[in-house]
A = this chain, B = another copy of it.
Amino acid sequence: MAGAGMSADVDSGAGVGAALRWSVERDLRLALRSRSELGVQLMFYVIVVTLFPLASTPERMLLATMGPGVLWVAALLASLLSLPRLFASDFADGTLEQIALSPFPMPALVFGKILAHWLTTGLPIVLLAPLLGIQYGLDGTALWIVTLSLLIGTPILSLLGAIGAALTLGVRGGGSLLALLILPLYVPILIFGAGSADAVRAGLSASANLSLLGAGLLIALVGAPLATAASVRIALD
- State the Cβ distance, A30 to closest chain B Cβ, in Å: 8
Is A34 close to B, CB under 8 A? yes
- From A2-10, A102-110, A183-191, give the one contacting chain B: A183-191
A40 to B183, CA, bound (A): 12
The answer to whether A180 and B44 touch across the interface, beta carbons within 8 angstroms, is yes
Q: Please, which residues of chain B bring their CB within 8 A of the CB of A81? A: 80-81, 175-176, 179
Consensus secondary structure, chain A interface:
helix
The residues in A between 105 and 159 inclusive whose CB is less than 8 angstroms from any CB of B are: none
Query: Which residues of the other chain, B, contact A44 by a CB distance below 8 angstroms?
Result: 176, 179-180, 183
| Interface contact B84-A173, CB-CB below 8 Å | no
- Chain B residue with Cβ nearest A59: B65
Q: How far is the CB of A64 from chain B (nearest CB, A)?
A: 11
**Contact: B47 with A56, CB < 8 Å?**
no
Neighbour of A57 across the interface among B72, B73, B198, CB < 8 A: B198
Q: How many angstroms from the CA of A81 to the CA of B30 in the assembled complex?
A: 22
**Inter-chain contacts of A222 with B (CB < 8 A):** none
Q: A187 to B82, Cβ gap below 8 A?
A: no
Scan residues 44-91 of chain A and give those whose CB is less than 8 A from a CB of chain B: 44, 47-48, 51-52, 54-57, 62, 65-66, 68-70, 72-73, 76-78, 80-82, 84-85
* Contact of A190 (CB < 8 Å), options: B55, B180, B183: B55
- Hey, which chain B residues are within 8 Å of A191, CB to CB? 54-55
- Write the nearest CB–CB distance from A110 to chain B, whole angstroms: 21
Verify A84–B84 contact, CB threshold 8 A: yes
- Taking the nearest CB of chain B, how far is it from the CB of A56, in angstroms? 4
Task: State whether A40 and B72 are in contact (beta carbons under 8 Å apart), knowing that A56-B65, A81-B81, A92-B92 are contacts in the complex.
Answer: no
Contact A180 B43 (CB under 8 A): yes
By the criterion CB–CB under 8 Å, are A73 and B47 in contact? no
Interface residues of A (CB under 8 A from B): 30, 33-34, 36-37, 40-41, 43-44, 47-48, 51-52, 54-57, 62, 65-66, 68-70, 72-73, 76-78, 80-82, 84-85, 92, 171-177, 179-180, 183-184, 187, 190-191, 194, 198
6 shortest interchain CB distances as A-B pairs: A55-B69, A56-B69, A34-B172, A40-B176, A55-B194, A47-B183
